[in-house]
């Protein structure tokens, strides 16, 4: 462990697996106290055990991030336990893949409630705490929205809404020394692994399109990058979108 984030308290949503787990571990290894937030307590407890095995501090809070009351309670519990909130990572997102012509109201509602609406709730709940000593928010977009990938209609809508929300917050909250950035990641998460198993040929094509020749590792590639963003190393970065996809998507 290093002490780059010593004394800072972080909330990571969707922390029970995949990228959320990787970010939580990376933050904890830099000495941040990490609140693991998600719907499935058992998964969160497993990640919490991993964090503690590295010598880190973890708090498990089961919460439906699409419920404002639940989010408000979660943030207050974290602030009480850790003495404040300095870092917010909005990673949670639910959606379905479907052709645009077949996309339903329920598909859109599902993507929006778990994505931009949940992100807004967490940002608003954390704002009073982040104002105290400044802080950093990292929200998650997607290259499927940047590129317009087929079958990702409702998901792409939600992810671009998150990017728009993040840019507005970066302008409005910069006066409080709060930085807000977006990350578009590519990682071998459980969902990516399931997709790879289901469509090996398409997955192989994706790998061939990545200049670095591999999918990102949730902790080493995505988690450590997020750690850098929220640290003082990138303290002048706000309102940005960082595409962490090994060069598959060149955005700028």
Domain boundaries, the chain: 9-189+218-243
Burial of 6 (0-12, 13-18, 19+ CB in 10 A): exposed
Predicted confidence band of residue 252 (pLDDT cuts 50, 70, 90): low
- In sequence order, the β-bridge partners of residue 140 are 183
Give the distance between the most distant pair of CA atoms in the chain: 51
Distance (Å, whole) CA 64 – CA 11: 14
Of 96, 125, 121, 128, nearest to 109 by C-alpha is 96
| pLDDT at residue 248, as a whole number | 87
Q: Give dist(CA 140, CA 229) in Å, integer.
A: 13
Residues in the chain: 252
Please list the residues that pair with 33 across neighbouring strands: 9, 57
Please identify every residue annotated as catalytic: 155
138 has pLDDT over 80: yes
Cα–Cα dist 57/39, whole Å:
20
Asked if residues 78 and 35 have their Cβ atoms less than 8 Å apart, the reply is yes
Query: Is 3.20.20.20 the CATH classification of the domain at 9-189+218-243?
Result: no
pLDDT at 89: 98
- Residue 44 pLDDT: 98
Instruction: Output the pTM of the full model.
Output: 0.95
The pLDDT tens digits of the residues spanning 72-117 come to: 999 999 999 999 999 999 999 999 999 999 999 999 999 999 999 9
Check residue 198 and give its pLDDT. 77
Tell which wins on pLDDT, 249 or 121. 121
Q: What is residue 1's predicted lDDT score, i.e. its pLDDT? A: 67
**Can you tell me the distance from the alpha carbon of 86 to that of 75, in angstroms, rounded to the nearest whole number?**
11
Nearest to 59 by CA among 89, 29, 90, 38: 38
Residues 9-56 pLDDT 10s = 999 999 999 999 999 999 999 999 999 999 999 999 999 999 999 999
Reply yes or no on whether the pLDDT at 197 is more than 90.
Answer: no
Distance of CA 117 to the CA centre of its chain: 14
Average pLDDT, the chain: 94
Other beta carbons within 10 Å of 122: 27
User: What is the C-alpha separation between 37 and 74, in angstroms, rounded?
Assistant: 8
Question: In this predicted model, which residue has the larger pLDDT, 251 or 174?
Answer: 174
State the SS3 of the chain.
CCCCCCCCEEEEECCCCHHHHHHHHHHHHCCCEEEEEECCHHHHHHHHHHHHHCCCEEEEEECCCCCHHHHHHHHHHHHHHHCCCCEEEECCCCCCCECHHHCCHHHHHHHHHHHHHHHHHHHHHHHHHHHHHCEEEEEECCHHHHHCCCCEHHHHHHHHHHHHHHHHHHHHHHHHCEEEEEEEECECCHHHHHHHHHCHHHHHHHHHCCCCCCCECHHHHHHHHHHHHHCHHHCCCCCCEEEECCCCCCCC
Q: How many CB atoms lie within 10 A of CB 66?
A: 19
């Amino acid at each position: 462990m290093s002490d780059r984030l010593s004394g800072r308290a972080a909330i990571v949503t969707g922390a029970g697996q995949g990228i959320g787990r990787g970010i939580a571990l990376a933050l904890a290894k830099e000495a941040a106290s990490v609140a693991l937030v998600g719907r499935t307590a058992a998964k969160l407890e497993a990640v919490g055990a991993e964090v503690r095995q590295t010598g880190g501090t973890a708090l498990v809070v089961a919460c439906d991030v699409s419920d404002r009351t639940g989010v408000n309670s979660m943030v207050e519990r974290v602030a009480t336990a850790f003495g404040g909130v300095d870092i917010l990572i909005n990673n949670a997102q639910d959606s379905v893949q479907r052709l645009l012509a077949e996309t339903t109201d329920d598909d859109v509602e599902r993507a929006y409630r778990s994505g931009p609406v949940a992100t807004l709730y967490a940002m608003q709940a954390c704002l009073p705490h982040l104002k105290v000593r400044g802080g950093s928010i990292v929200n998650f977009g997607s290259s499927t929205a940047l590129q317009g990938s087929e079958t990702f209609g409702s998901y792409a809508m939600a992810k671009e809404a998150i990017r728009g929300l993040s840019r507005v917050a970066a302008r409005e909250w910069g006066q409080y020394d709060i930085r807000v950035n977006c990350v578009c990641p590519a990682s071998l998460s459980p969902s990516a692994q399931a997709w790879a198993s289901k469509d090996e040929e398409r997955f192989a094509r994706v790998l061939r399109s990545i200049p670095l020749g591999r999918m990102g590792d949730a902790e080493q590639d995505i988690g450590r990058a997020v750690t850098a963003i929220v640290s003082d190393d990138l303290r002048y970065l706000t309102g940005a979108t960082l595409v962490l996809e090994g060069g598959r998507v060149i955005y700028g």
